[in-house]
Each structure stands twice: as C-alpha cells, then as structure tokens.
C-alpha cells in the first residue's frame, strides 16, 4: 500500500483567512450567479465583483487575484 501524505500539523491555511457572516438567502443568490454563465468557485466570483467595483472607484492598490498567482 502506498504511503499516505502527511497531514498538516499547523492547521493553518497558506493564505490567512477571516470569517465573514453572509445571510443565507444572499449566499444562495451568489452561488447561483457564480455558476450562471461560466462555473467558477464562489469566492472567485465574489473577488471578481469586488475587484471590478474597486477599479471603477479608482482604487489601484489591489492584491493579485488568486487565480493569477504562480503555482507553489
């Protein structure tokens, strides 16, 4: 039997995360919209919307989007 991969011991994500409370009915709408035209993960859909809004407001100091990060 092949060796199983080692489990993470730290229990931490590679990218720091903060919990966000989202109303369940709005979360359902966001999930539907995320897969409506082209299926994407919900978080990518939300980041894309926030990025568009920030750019429209003239904010240029934005972090890179997760789907454009180089592989580790």
- Give the structural domain span for 52: 24-59
Query: Into how many domains does the chain fold?
Result: 1
Residue 41: inside a domain, yes or no? yes
The backbone torsions φ and ψ at residue 12, rounded to the nearest 5 degrees and listed phi first, read -110, 150
Q: Go through 52-62 and write b for each residue having 16 or more CB atoms within 10 A of its CB, e for each that does not.
A: eeeeeeeeeee
Compute the Cα dihedral for 18, 24, 25, 31 and give only its sign. positive
Per-residue pLDDT of the chain (72 residues; tens, 9 = 90+): 567 776 666 667 677 778 889 999 999 999 999 999 889 999 999 999 999 999 999 999 999 998 886 766
Q: Taking the chain, what is the end-to-end CA distance rounded to the nearest angstrom?
A: 28
pTM: 0.72
């Amino acid at each position: 039997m092949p060796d199983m991969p080692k489990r993470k011991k730290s229990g931490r994500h590679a990218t720091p995360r903060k919990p966000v409370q989202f109303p369940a009915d709005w979360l359902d709408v966001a999930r539907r919209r995320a897969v409506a035209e082209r299926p994407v993960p919900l978080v990518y859909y939300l980041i894309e919307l926030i990025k568009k809004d920030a750019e429209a407001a003239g904010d240029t100091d934005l972090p890179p989007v997760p789907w454009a990060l180089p592989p580790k």
